[in-house]
Amino acid sequence: MSQIRVLMFGAHPDDCELKAGGCAALWTSMGHVVRIVSLTNGDTGHYAMGGGILAKRRRDEAAAAAAVIGAESLVLDIHNGELMPDVTTRKQVIRIIREFEPDLILTHRPNDYHPDHRYTSQLVQDASYILRVPNMTPLTPPLLKPVVIMYFSDRFQKPNPFVPDVAVDITEVIETKIAMVGCHESQVFEWLPYDEGIIDQVPEEEAQRKQWLDTRMRARFSRDADLCREQLIATYGEAGREIRYAESFECCEYGARLTPEAKARLFPFLP
């Protein structure tokens, strides 16, 4: 089996792990290559710290999360909340894609509450055709092969709800996914609980904190499985009704077609 190269674009240092950490763990466990890219440095994602100190902390957290599964990590030095789908940033994305030469790209859908998420999606979409145009960023050789592009799941309904084209049972690697997410301590134990108004519920003792996070994440990832239940049943048969943890992805029409042959090659852990 040839090696698969998967490139994930998230807006913030923890996005890819939350949306596709399970599949990332499955790919790397089979010897495939995964690079996790954050287009912003996350330097406003906290209630008590920010700027360069937070950016460095979040970069280190991203590196630690990737190291859990032996993936590559890249965090761009663009301010959180200030990502723009301009030509300069598009060229950065084009170079990253061309240099990595992926078989599969994963990113956000274009409909999302957060501008950084929306613009990450737009940047990948805007790069999708130009990847093959030699005279755009001419010092980086163009890609000669088409790339499948897919979106992370979400629950936004307007103007278009998420429709899963691929659903993957990640139950066997759920502990690994939670370990990856747990590396983002500034988010899962500090910023996100603060933003939800439950910062007082976070335990101080390390073992209790890990158990608290495990419970929260299992509930979240269980809901993700329910989001793609029909696709799980179509893929795994009646066993799909009982799958507790799953990740799912929707095809972007600007990338290469996800043919049955491409699906089997890019998702070798599917039955």
Instruction: Write the pLDDT tens digit of every residue in 216-254.
Output: 999 999 999 999 999 999 999 999 999 999 999 999 999
The rounded distance, in Å, linking the Cα atoms of 262 and 245 is 24
Q: Write down the pLDDT at residue 17.
A: 98
**Exposure class string for 48-87: b at 16+ Cβ within 10 A, else e:** eeeeeebbebbbebbbbbbebbebebbbeebebeebebee
In this structure, how many other beta carbons lie within 10 angstroms of the beta carbon of residue 175? 13
Q: Write down the pLDDT at residue 194.
A: 97
The rounded distance, in Å, linking the Cα atoms of 189 and 220 is 15
Structural domain includes residue 271: no
63, 101 in Cβ contact below 8 A?
A: no
The rounded distance, in Å, linking the Cα atoms of 215 and 205 is 16
pLDDT in tens, 244-257: 999 999 999 999 99
Residue 1 has pLDDT above 80, yes or no: no
Residue found by looking up tokens 């066993």 in the block? 239
Q: Write down the pLDDT at residue 150.
A: 98
For the chain, what is the mean pLDDT? Answer: 97
Confidence of residue 14 (pLDDT cuts 50, 70, 90): very high
Confidence of residue 261 (pLDDT cuts 50, 70, 90): very high
Question: Which residue type is seen at 218?
Answer: R
Structural domain includes residue 24: yes
Domain range enclosing 123: 5-266
Q: Write down the pLDDT at residue 99.
A: 98
Structural domain includes residue 97: yes
Confidence of residue 121 (pLDDT cuts 50, 70, 90): very high
What average pLDDT does the segment 101-129 reach? 97
Structural domain includes residue 133: yes
What average pLDDT does the segment 60-89 reach? 98
Structural domain includes residue 146: yes
Confidence of residue 102 (pLDDT cuts 50, 70, 90): very high
Domain count, the chain: 1
The rounded distance, in Å, linking the Cα atoms of 206 and 3 is 38
To 10 degrees, what angle do helices 174-182 and 51-69 make? 160
The rounded distance, in Å, linking the Cα atoms of 27 and 21 is 10
Structural domain includes residue 113: yes
Q: Write down the pLDDT at residue 48.
A: 96
What average pLDDT does the segment 174-199 reach? 98
Per DSSP bridges, beta strands 104-107 and 148-152 are parallel
Bridge-partner residues for 167, per DSSP?
248
- CATH number for 10: 3.40.50.10320
The rounded distance, in Å, linking the Cα atoms of 147 and 75 is 22
175, 244 in Cβ contact below 8 A?
A: no
